[in-house]
Structure 1
Amino acid sequence: MGSKAQIQTVKAEFLDPSLYEDSSLSGVPRLSRGTLVGALSRAFDLAEGRKPGHAQRVAYIGVYLASDLWLEPQRIEEVFFGCLLHDVGMAAMEPVAPPGGRGLRFWGGARRSPEHPPRAAAGSWAEVIESIARHCESGASIARRMGFPETVARAVLHHHDCWDGSGRPGALPGSQTPLVSRIVSLADRFESLLDTEASPLVVRKSGPRLVEEMAGREVDPDLAARMADIAGRDDFWLGLYDNDLGAGLMALNYGGILAREELFDFLGVLADVIDVRNAREEGSGRRIAELARRVALTCDMTERRADLVKVAALLQDIGTLGVPARYLRKPDILSVDEMAAVQMHPVYARDILGEVPGLGAAAWWVGCHHERVDGKGYPGMLEGSEVPMEAQIIGICEAYDALTSDRPYRRALPREEAFDVLRGLSGSRWDPYVLSRFESVAGPFEA
């Protein structure tokens, strides 16, 4: 633990007054699928080790191209979701880096430079190809579970297929894939090529040439010709590098407004995916969220406030997508560097949820759910009343589920032993009031 001055500095950096939306009447805002996926796509970027905003930039490129082709609104919307979700399969796994790690190489269908290597353990080329295929197939399955149409799922499945039929095992020649799939594939490749260039001015100059080089081999030659023309337009580049790009995409409100139960189910699918990637029993995220909602009600919160706690609990570990899965699954004690990486996940989660309009309070709670009332938690070393009650509720429900579930490093504890462990942390990890409210709910809930 650092000095008092160092701790205060960390707190000052972590505490953000804009995240305090602490009205007791606040609840879950009305959100569209497009708004949610637009913000949460940043987690998929983390999972693949991409620069933040990769999926959003791919969506911008895809929607621009689809609109320039005068596609009907439904097709444009499918392109939008296919682009945002193209790497959602990475949320369920960890990428495998190509062997050697030097020079330009194909990684996920796009040439990657040494300046932006994938954050992954090295493997053989066969393992790389298998990883690409698995994340396409997994992503398509996740898109279906989220309720998106088959056109979107197929776009995710085929986004690494090349026009000439090469790519992942089972790839189809481009002429046999739907137009939406071909647009998503081109948008992803184009953005990935731009990502290797250091300067926007260089990108502006080389963009048309880069896309023409892919024509007929990697991508649809007709689409490549249209994209090369688009890449010569100033308004395209101004939009691509707009600081408000993400907000503009979310404001489209594609996919319709989600009703209460639809929202819980939608986020529950993502919670299930995070469970699988982190080697937890699928469904633990949903259990934690429902238990947290019940505890919140017992703490005299309104139904709307308790619903917001449930939303936060469903997404509490979305930040773990920015942590190598091998750290999260490690059966041994973590090294100092590994522990430091793991302790960043609440910050990642806070920043991702903070992008969603109306979820500022939930973002703050998720960012604090590993804080302790004795000031020894992370990442902000908050203490006492600085730790929101909602964050403590989420944290204690997560801890209980972890104690009563099998983990790589130990077997599940019986319920009474788990309660004893939690009671031993009263006044240090948890506020005694929150612990007592939890105990009043957890027994009947689990019965």
Structure 2
Amino acid sequence: MMNFPFPAPDPYILVVTGAGILVALVTWLPRALRKLPLSLPIVCIGLGAAISTLPRVSLRVSPLDQPLLAERFSEFVVIIALMGAGLKLDRPFSLPRWAVTWRLLAITMPLGIAVLTVLGGTLLALSWPVALLLAASLAPTDPVLAADVQVGPPQTEEEDEVRFGLTSEAGLNDGLAFPFVHLAIALGALAASGKAWAAHWVSVHVLWGIAAGIVVGWLVGKLFGWLTFHRPRGKSLARTGDGLIALSATFVSYGLGEIVHCYGFLAVFVTAMTLRASHREHTFNVDMHELTEQVERLAMMTLLLLCGSAVMHGLLAPLRVTDVLFVALAIFIVRPLTGILGLAGLAAQKTERWALAFFGIRGVGSIYYLAYGLNHMQTPDPERLWAIVGLAILISILLHGLTVTPAMRWLDRRHGRDPDRDALA
């Protein structure tokens, strides 16, 4: 064998090369997988697992070793996804038109958190605060990994009841799950110190957090809508065609929300909807959505590559038989049944209600909530909690990723829509 007199490549050069490959995959994979019973998250997890097994590759970032990185990186991915989700909703906001959303938020999610908390306290023998934290982490539908069941880009008319319901639910429940995370933290502090918590939790983490998040999001959305579409006269930002303004609105909204101690996730989604409503039919909405979608995919793929590596390096090792049973119940029983209960009586076809109930995808949001909770409260066995959430995300990615394409194509045909219309165009 010939030995080349070249030194081993610099790690920086390897990172640059890998980044180039990753960007190429971000561009190409969504189109390549369009008709296949396979999703982008599945490919990312598989790639991360495969890369981590290569010799001399140290792709290993554990949430246990880097808890703050896990929280902040997942936080970044979620807020970008929330902006994209809000921008692509064509349906104007109103209480009657959003009936499916309110049912999923007001009935399905609280029921799911309650059932999972009871299962965590009994089946898993967790303390009640830890059981509540786990339940709140697993309850929200993820805005990042649910892209395949969400509405299409702005003005594409891909907004049936299933896609709209799952998109709007994912956009709003990430903010509304936070009060339950804070409740778990408050209960954990109560167990440790005995201090009063109820009045503070209700006033600060429920009433103020939600109301202020909506107000901040609306104000920032109004401001950016005015600057983008209306003023200064003849110099509006929409004339630039630069979708980066959507990232600016995302960061300003989230930052101001966190400064006033409200729910930044909720503020970002409300900002996106308000910005879109400023000029609903303007083509610049497409530019803003395309840019946020590209950034979201790049960040999401990076995070999932790390998740695939973590799985190969023992993330799931602490699992017990009861933990696996808990995850199976959460995904196959709790979400579908609570979804059907929440949607009972909704003016939609039975197949649509079952699709809405089934595709409650768990993902990056669950990583963020668990990381946030563990960074703010003491728990005796964080490795086990990460293993449970990791298994839930992995099963959800595989189950929903393999079924979403055939299921949504079947629903499209059943309702007289051509699932291949865009590809043919």
The alignment's TM-score, normalised by the length of structure 1, stands at 0.28
- Structure with the bigger percentage of helix: 2
The alignment's TM-score, normalised by the length of structure 2, stands at 0.30
Q: Which has the higher contact order (CA 8 A, sep 6+)?
A: 2
